[in-house]
Each structure stands twice: as structure tokens, then as C-alpha cells.
Structure 1
């Protein structure tokens, strides 16, 4: 009996290396992986696997009437594939889409997707619990497979980011890198940082600002210690920005799983973040500082505490966590779930 083909949806993304790294690991373990092409949606045959990652892009549209039509086509496609004997899987990266948040239609669609999938993958135990409670699915239907690390996934250009922004080499630098919008909590970070009044520390905020959000509030209150780069940080310079910082700060208002936190750990940068979603499972003891999001002074205290971290000890803790996020082990577990059997050898 030949091995099934895995149709990854998508196999690669221009904004996230997760699918690409997962694909490589699955291929290293002996299964063929192809991109699920919507131009040839009926290519998967009996026994093959279709693995979805961000299905909201396949059922959402610019207006509800269009969303309804798109959703019906998408639901029909999944039902057809299921009837054809294709095994369906969904990695629930976010309980709710970032674009729309919680809506009744998203609830119906996501509950439906989980109902037709053979299994769902979740990136932490806390997300598993949230998904089961939110959508009323059995815990047995959800398999925890952690988000793999980004070690060696990005190569820098060697650009001196501190030099570019006039940041002294000896200054302790808090770093925020990523898309900037309302749920990221950047305004709270600015407020907490300025309240520290530490001349020996700086803050660098870098990332594309989403439409409808603005960083204009920073200029009137900036005392010169905050540097802002409101542009998309491409893959070539991402490592350069990470090397410039001492600590990554992710002051999210809401989060399921943070690739940014894993990216920071992959470059041995401790993380300051709220105790939300699965962050407490990834930012393990010694890998950073988690604070109570309900404490109005929690972020400020966490920033102050991070300055006194023993970075050598932090690196040891981060190394241990990265070993748990090895892609080969994740791929091996997924392959066993895909096939429903242990007859396929995996290189774990």
C-alpha cells in the first residue's frame, strides 16, 4: 500500500514560515507534500490528506452576502472531499480569526470545520481546552502538537540596527517586532516603558501598521528613548532586529499562540508577555517574564524585572524549551495522526 500524499493548505506562506518548516519535516519523514491548489481542488483522492491552516481566508469575503456564498462553496468542497475518502485536518492557530474576531458566522463555520475534520491539531493544552469549550467538540478530536521553533529559519543581512537608529551599544533595549494593530497592546507598552524613566534603557518598535491604527500618539510623549520603524520587517532583516534587542516584549491584549514569542526564543531572546493563551506553556520558567494582564501595573513591573535577568541562565532555559519544539518530533506525531496507524516509520 502506497503512502498517502499530504496536501498542505498552504504549503508555504509569504508571511509565516510555519507551513514551510512543517512541510520540510514531514517530507524528511517520508511523506510527499503538495500545495493544496484551489485551481485544482479535486486532486486529492481516497486516502490522501488535506491539512488546513487558516480556513477563514477560504470562507470570508468583503460583505456578508459574499461570505455566505463563499462559505457554502467551501463547506460543499469539504463535504465532497470527505465523501471521496480524503482525510481532513485543521491546525487551529487561532480560536477566532484576527480579521473579524468573534462572530456568529465564524462560530458556525469553525464548528462545522471541526465536525468534518478527522482530527484537529492545537498548539497547546490551553488552546485545546478553549476550543473544546467554545465549539463543543470532544477533547479526543484535538491533538496537541506544539509550534516548532525558528532556529536557522531566517538569515540576517548583518545590518547594524542599533547604529541605524542611533541606539547606544551599551543601552538595554526592549524590542517589539511584528504587525501593529489594536490587539497587540503597543500603546500599553509605550506607557509602561516611559513610566520607568530609565535613561539606561530604550525601546524599539518595528512593524507594519495595520489600516485603522496609528502610532501618532507616540511623538508628543516621546522623550527620545523610543525609536519607531513603522514598516514591514522582511525576512532578510528580521534576524538583524532580533540581534539588536535584549528582550522581546509582546504586550498583547489577546492571543492564542504567538509565533513572535517562539521566534524570539529561537534567537535566545527572553520574552516579556501577559499570561494569556498558550504563552505560559511556551515562555517556560526562566525563558522570560509573564505578568498578570489584569494588573494595571503588571507590564511595567515585568519590564523592570527583565532588566535584572541573568541572561546566561535564561539561555540555558531557552535551549531546553527549544529542544521540546523540535520539528522532527512534531512531524512524526502528525504523521501517526494522519494515517491513524503506526505502520509508517518516522525519524523522531
Structure 2
């Protein structure tokens, strides 16, 4: 079976590479759609890249925002481009996002995602709640949505090291430490977290690590954090080994997405055995709940200190997360994915 993944974002996230490698055990040969062409990029690229099955991951790669006079045209043409590209081609889509991050307000944002989800022969969603939300948001028939776990990103990391050793390597202080990690972007709610740390002064050090999505936004967060003594910012891209050190140094992980459909970062923290704090509103993020290491909160209100204290009271435990890692293992993800492929190709 030949499958074409698009876009090729292996350099930014390990998800596609890990899935492709796991699919090989089932006789699936995965290739990656390279480059970008003007006018109708998907139609032109698929014409010169024959495949049995087209597997799209992130639609927005084919209407990139370049902040030039052609931005609106690129967005406007996508639906037609996708329809033409998949006229005679079986097409599946992984629902990484409900809509593109930070850009939901732009023209054609909802239309383009709606076209992709409605056009797909089969959709892979990362949770049962995500399946329901897809159906409600875009009018997708739930019968063409298959629930497949996100996959275990911890497999690319080096083995955990003791917390004190990790903190010494990173120059981090002793005492309770709460970690926010991943690309630093507006939809992740760092400003609200920093406002809480400034006002409430919790007895825990907050560490925010990752590369800002723009120099301007990085400066905004630096200004927010400037006069908060128990906050450390580490603004740069992290290798897998560097991220592992921060995960080992932390006592808990905090996520405050304004909105999110699935979270590879939260799944990774869960795989690492870190206690996790996450808003209740993010119901489509599957963390294997109920679980004693997952704490949902409503807001940064009078109840949040209790949630934070409870998370910090439970020691991180990599071994305790073994069951979760088995549940989202790449062999299991590949098995479920191949079943979906075969279903589409049999029609």
C-alpha cells in the first residue's frame, strides 16, 4: 500500500516520522509531499506524485500566511484546489486541529477546514470527544470518523534523569516548580498564567520554555514577566534532549490553551509521568482520565491554589505512566490507522 503524507513537517514535529515508521510493519510505504507550487498547489503536486491514498495532516500548509497581497487569494482558492486534487483520489485527514491556530478570524478559516473535513473519505480524531465536536462543528457524519490516539512522543526522548541533576544542568532553583513548554504562542494563554503568578504569588516557581512564534510576541511575554520574581523564561527552540531535561526538572506541567483540539505536549507530559494542570474547557484533549495525575481547573480563581497544591504534592513518576504509554503506543496507532486505510481503499 502506498500512502502520501502532506505536508512534510517532519523537521518541526516527530509525529509524521513516528507514524510512518510504525506503518512500515503493516506493509505501508509512506512518502511525503515535497515543495510547494503556486496557483493550485495540491492539484499540481498530486498530479506528479501518484499514490494509492492521500493522507492530509495540516491543510493550512497549502494556504500559508505570508503577509503579502496574495494571502487572501491563497486562502480563497484552497477549497477548489482540494476538491480538484482529490477528484479521483482516496483521501483521509487527521484532525490535529479544529481550525488553524491563532488565525481563526481570517477569511476562509472555517470554510477551508470545513471543506477538508467534509471532503475526506475518512477522518482520524484523537479522542471520542473530538469526534463528537467535529460532527457538531462541521456537520461531519460520525460514521466516517475513527478514534486513533495521538501517539507517544516520549519515544524520541533520552531516558529520564533525577530531578536534582536536571535542575543543576539547567540552573533552576530548588523547591516546587511548574513547567509550561512548547512553542510560545498567543492561543496558549501565557499572559493569563503570568497575571495569576504576579497577583497570587504562589509558592512555586514558574518556568516557561519554548520559542516564541514572533519576536514581538516574545517581547510581550518578557514584559509581562519582568517584575515577577518566581518566573523563569527560556525562549529558544529545544532539542529533544533539552526538553527532556526540563521535563525531568519539573514537579508538574501547566497548560492553559484558550482553545485546543488535541495536544501533543500534554500527551508527552502524561507519558513522562508529570502531574498535569489543564482547563476543564479543553474536553477534546484525551489524557486517559480519570487519573490521579491529571487535574482539571475551571479558571485562575479561588479554587486554583488547591489544584496547584494537589498537583505539586504528587511526585512525578515515569514508571507510573507505563500504562498510558502502552495505550498510545505507535504500534497501536499504526494498527488503527491501517484499518482505516483498508476501509477506504475497499470502497
Q: TM-score range by the shorter chain?
A: 0.7 to 0.9
The superposition leaves residues 25-62 of structure 1 with CA deviations (integer Å, 9 ceiling, x where unpaired) of: 1112211110123464314447x111111111212434
Q: TM-score, normalised by structure 2?
A: 0.84
- TM-score (normalizing by structure 1): 0.84
Confirm whether residue 8 of structure 1 aligns to residue 5 of structure 2.
yes
Corresponding position: 1:228 with 2:228: no
Distance 2:171 2:75 in 1: 50
Q: How does 1:24-103 map to 2 (within 5 A)?
A: 24-38=21-35, 40-45=45-50, 48-62=52-66, 66-71=70-75, 74-84=78-88, 86-103=89-106
Provide, for residues 108-166 of structure 1, a one-character-per-residue CA deviation record: whole Å limited to 9, x for no partner.
Answer: 11121122211111111111111111111111121111101113212389895522554
Aligned equivalent of 2:243: 238
1:193/1:112 Cα in 2 relative to 1: closer, same or farther (>3 Å)? same
Distance 1:38 1:227, change over 3 A: closer
**1:130 and 2:133 aligned:** yes
Q: How do 1:1-348 and structure 2 match up within 5 A?
A: 4-38=1-35, 40-45=45-50, 48-62=52-66, 66-71=70-75, 74-84=78-88, 86-103=89-106, 105-155=108-158, 161-164=166-169, 166-168=171-173, 170-193=174-197, 195-198=200-203, 201-211=204-214, 212-213=216-217, 214-215=220-221, 216-220=223-227, 222-223=228-229, 225-278=230-283, 281-282=286-287, 284-286=289-291, 288-294=293-299, 296-309=301-314, 311=316, 315-316=319-320, 318-340=321-343
Computed over aligned residues only, the root mean square deviation of the Cα atoms, in angstroms, reads 2.9
Matched residues in 2 for 1:297 and 1:179: separation? 29
Distance of 2:286 and 2:125 partners within structure 1? 13
Structure 1: where are the runs of 5+ without partners? 344-348
Q: Deviations over 1:69-120 (max 9, x none)?
A: 3346544443344333x21111111101013125551221112112221111
Q: Which runs of 5+ in 2 are unaligned?
A: 37-44
Comparing 141-150 and 293-302, the one that deviates more:
293-302
